[in-house]
Amino acid sequence: MVKVLVTGGAGFIGSNFVRYALAQHQDWHVTTLDKLTYAGRRENLHDVMDSPRHTFVHGDIADAAVAGPLVEQSHIVVHFAAESHVDRSIAAAGDFITTDVVGTYVLLEAARRAKDLRRFVQISTDEVYGSVPTGASRETDELKPRNPYSAAKAGADRLAYSYWATYDVPVIITRASNNYGPYQFPEKVIPLFVTNAIDDLPVPLYGDGGNIRDWLHVDDHCRGVDMLIEAGTNGEVYNIGGGNEVRNVDLTHRILTLLDKPLSLIQPVADRQGHDRRYALDTTKLRNMGWAPQVPFDDGLAATVAWYRDQPWWWRPIKEQDPRFREYYQTRYQGRA
């Protein structure tokens, strides 16, 4: 049995990967390590929590006593765990340094001691490249992170690389574009706008809405990571992008149209500090290895909107009962009605 550790496996992308891995690899036993902060939820794994090939461990990647032995016992580590919301990083950068950088260091130190480790996948982000006015970022481009979140991810990205270069830890790094799909915590733009619109609440659109993001369905991301576990080359970086560049204002219009809601729900709000205008990834390297996204954006967005519409059991308790979430949004949008 192949022993696979997924950090942050109760989060959005991590939980989708855990589900994908268990379905695709009958010879894998997957251990999820998650701190269960606000965005990591047991509910995200409700349908696999009792699988005999899945073990859940409640713990912090920065806690060496907990995380270290799990890494040392693993054949494959897929490291999703991170603080990942830009707005929160602007308000509390220290939390991002602790989790994203120090936590990654703890895992890599354990990886040095692991005797049977075949692959350590460091999940990074397209945001490490910074804003890209034209063209698309290649894996060899300079990193220019422009907010504490992306800076912390860039630090973890390069730290992971250094453990390959210095200690020969079998590291690969993936940098993905904006993911969307089911189980995404409703502070991110798509689930926030969908769930607000379902309740006829304003959808807060930053600035002029002209910021451009490249959207990647979470299932396509999982397929890319899965392929690279076997086919990747140690020490290499791989971009995983959907090739779907969409302005935020156009995305908002699409969501409202899918829900048959009026455009009058759009509420312009002051732009985010250091808001990157555009991200875009050159995915030639991964496509030449045989990967390509399989989910057309129109289909994936429609399915995602339908999922949130049909799964109020999952998101409504977050928005109505979680005091941290409620306080965050009340503070964030106070006086902007």
Active site residues: 126-127, 149
CA distance 181 to 305: 8
Q: How far is residue 14 from each of residues 42, 221, 266, measured CA to CA in Å?
A: 12, 10, 31
Going 302 to 307 to 38 to 82, the CA torsion angle's sign is negative
CA distance 244 to 247: 10
CA distance 125 to 83: 12
The answer to whether 238 touches 232, Cβ cutoff 8 Å, is: yes
Q: How far is residue 261 from each of residues 126, 221, 246, 254, 293, measured CA to CA in Å?
A: 31, 30, 20, 10, 29
The answer to whether 128 touches 276, Cβ cutoff 8 Å, is: no
Q: What's CA 275's distance to the chain center, in Å? A: 18
**Relative orientation angle of helices 323-332 and 312-321, to the nearest 10 degrees:** 70
Token pair recorded at residue 15: 């939980």
Nearest residue to 20 (alpha-carbon basis) of 41, 6, 2: 6
Q: What's CA 47's distance to the chain center, in Å? A: 20
